[in-house]
A = this chain, B = another copy of it.
């Protein structure tokens, strides 16, 4: 309910409750747009967002282990396992027993898996590209900056490490 603030002699109009609430709602609505296009593609395959995320990060780090994926995705291994099982059964993901440690499973996309990843990525990238283009380079820098500041500490480190 505070409409204006001054702190250290500096006017911080962009931190009013109204501005923050707008930011929250923008985040909510934008995320809907962000997932809308991939969702339509996934529906045709009978998959959901969890499959998208798995396919995305397996493509990103081919040969990654289940345990690594868990950290990145932030879900339980049981939850991820269900998704991986269908992807493996459907021939989109290849699961290979580790050579050094045979408890581990190393995951890779098959050609079929890469095709889906490409379709999803193209759709999502297209929207992002249009948004970036219309907003302009400076806005994109600010966008990325705020998003990074909004992440949990451990995720930000992870995000920056894999740059």
Number of interface residues of A (CB under 8 A): 58
Partner of A20, one of B13, B20, B128, B134: B128
What is A's interface to B at a CB cutoff of 8 Å? 12-15, 17, 19-34, 36, 53, 74, 121, 124-125, 127-152, 155-156, 158-159, 163
How many subunits of this chain does the assembly comprise?
2
CA distance A30 to B147 in the complex (A): 5
A144 cross-chain contacts in B, Cβ below 8 A? 22-23, 26
Complex Cα gap A131–B13 (Å): 15
Task: For the complex formed, measure the closest distance between the CB of A62 and the CB atoms of chain B, giving whole angstroms.
Answer: 15
- If A15-B129, A23-B144, A144-B22 touch, whether A33 touches B151 (CB-CB below 8 Å) is yes
Take A14-B137, A145-B143, A146-B140 as given contacts and tell me if A24 and B151 are in contact as well, using a CB distance cutoff of 8 Å: no
The 8 Å CB contact of A30, one of B19, B128, B129, B148, is B148
Q: Which of B12, B23, B74, B127 contacts A150 (CB 8 A)?
A: B127
